[in-house]
A and B are shown apart, each in its own frame.
Chain A
């Protein structure tokens, strides 16, 4: 465990080198460097290439994806093993998938996932406990994965990433539609010293990031740094959001809003 912690705190820079948009025209942004502890947003209309950009990072593209982008780790192309071997993987990803397809019990699945990542066998219980803090109806270790609701599945995926995958780079694709407590989930995932890349349409999450990449027609068109004014607005949104959350909880619990 200690060894893991040391490993995750080594210096780490993620570099995205520009490729081309859907028409084959070069990205307006030719290079972005992201360091430890930074949350960076990806914004843009539906179909603008946000998920494609996340996929480029996830697979450490080396000019071999349709975008032609390249990803560097600490300034150099990553070793091939870092791309595929889950035991060495630097990237954990929460995708848009809302359901599991595997016909296994929650517990068996988590145990198998811990094994694939070369991790401790006792972690599954921790994952389920954590997942249950994010979702309404608790998940039972004996449940089959396929009967979990969308919210429960997402909560389990988030907790799995925080505990089992525990990689220094975390990619999140639209956490706001997940039916779980989004801010708590993001806080869980961002951990200390991690690089977090989050695709979002949500103003609060977008402004929580220190910078955001703007996508259009498959290309990276610009990078906006969150200004002081935007940060002020973020705090306003946060207040509104926590008010909405409390209203939602009240209604969910079958009580009357006062």
Chain B
């Protein structure tokens, strides 16, 4: 079984790029299964089902979507196996940009939208810096110079990644992504995350609504960068 984790900012085109890659994988005789993780709501399962491949949806609701995906990884793999699949494609929301949902042995794909501007590769953090492949979308909306500057910025943040320029509308680049998936080794044994998750549990996680310092506990960072532990 091969495993691919596709993450990226909302609206960057993860689903569209994946849909084209799925068609390509099917044409070459593979049997991909899709697991879509979202927070509150999704109808991507309806889009995916049109491709006639097994689709599962998980809504993390008030749990962090990445934590939810990682926690349920075994179950997703077992489900894919039961469906007779040889590739599990896991699309996840990856919202807070502090961690990355990539296990070490799967193919880690970060989808990023060129129109978000040339500083965005530096903003998305481990989601991009620990990815094997970075898929640039919406390049048709900017000039070639702007695409090339964006590309340079990605390489500054992650010099070893493979960059794929894709278009979710026309399917450009998805063939290249499918090729990369086909040649990626199967997963085996225990997997660990590529990047450590954010600082412990915060008071917001446990339901504190009041703002300002005196209400919060845990490992906390001040505006000037000073970090301290407040609590028992």
CB pair A157 B145 closer than 8 Å = yes
Q: Kindly state the separation between the CA atoms of A103 and B122 in the bound complex, as whole angstroms.
A: 14
Q: Please give me the residue from chain A that is nearest to B115 by CB atom.
A: A101
**Cβ contacts under 8 Å, A164 to chain B:** 145
CB pair A112 B142 closer than 8 Å = no
Please, what's the 1-or-0 string for B38-79, where 1 marks a CB less than 8 Å from any CB in chain A?
000000000000000000000000000000000000000000
CB pair B152 A92 closer than 8 Å = no
State the majority secondary structure of interface residues on B.
helix
Q: Kindly state the separation between the CA atoms of A94 and B145 in the bound complex, as whole angstroms.
A: 9
Q: Kindly state the separation between the CA atoms of A157 and B114 in the bound complex, as whole angstroms.
A: 17
The answer to whether the Cβ of B195 comes within 8 Å of any Cβ in the partner chain is no
Q: Please give me the residue from chain A that is nearest to B174 by CB atom.
A: A64
Other-chain residue from A58, A65, A102, A165 in contact with B146 (beta carbon distance below 8 A): A102
Q: Kindly state the separation between the CA atoms of A46 and B152 in the bound complex, as whole angstroms.
A: 34
Other-chain residue from B141, B150, B152 in contact with A115 (beta carbon distance below 8 A): B152
The number of residues on chain B lying at the interface, defined by a beta carbon within 8 Å of a beta carbon of chain A, is: 24
Q: Kindly state the separation between the CA atoms of A92 and B172 in the bound complex, as whole angstroms.
A: 18
**Cβ contacts under 8 Å, B171 to chain A:** 65-66
**Cβ contacts under 8 Å, B170 to chain A:** 55, 65-66
Q: Kindly state the separation between the CA atoms of A165 and B149 in the bound complex, as whole angstroms.
A: 12
Please, what's the 1-or-0 string for B144-168, where 1 marks a CB less than 8 Å from any CB in chain A?
1110111111000000000101000
The answer to whether the Cβ of B143 comes within 8 Å of any Cβ in the partner chain is yes
State the majority secondary structure of interface residues on A.
mixed
**Cβ contacts under 8 Å, A109 to chain B:** 118, 145-146, 149
Report if A100-B152 is in contact (Cβ < 8 Å); known contacts: A84-B163, A84-B165, A112-B118. Answer: no
Q: What's the count of A-B pairs with C-beta under 8 Å?
A: 74
B205 to chain A, nearest CB (A): 33
The answer to whether the Cβ of A116 comes within 8 Å of any Cβ in the partner chain is yes
**Cβ contacts under 8 Å, A104 to chain B:** 118, 149
Q: Kindly state the separation between the CA atoms of A164 and B171 in the bound complex, as whole angstroms.
A: 29
Other-chain residue from A92, A112, A161 in contact with B149 (beta carbon distance below 8 A): A112
CB pair B148 A101 closer than 8 Å = no
Interface hub of B144, B148, B152 (most chain A Cβ within 10 A): B144
Contact residues of B with A, CB < 8 Å? 114-115, 117-119, 140-146, 148-153, 163, 165, 170-172, 175
Contact residues of A with B, CB < 8 Å? 55, 58-59, 64-66, 84, 86, 92-95, 97, 100-104, 109, 112-113, 115-117, 157, 160-161, 164-165
* 14 A-B contact pairs sorted by A residue (CB < 8 Å): A55-B140, A58-B144, A59-B165, A66-B170, A84-B163, A86-B152, A97-B142, A101-B142, A103-B117, A103-B118, A113-B148, A117-B148, A160-B145, A165-B145
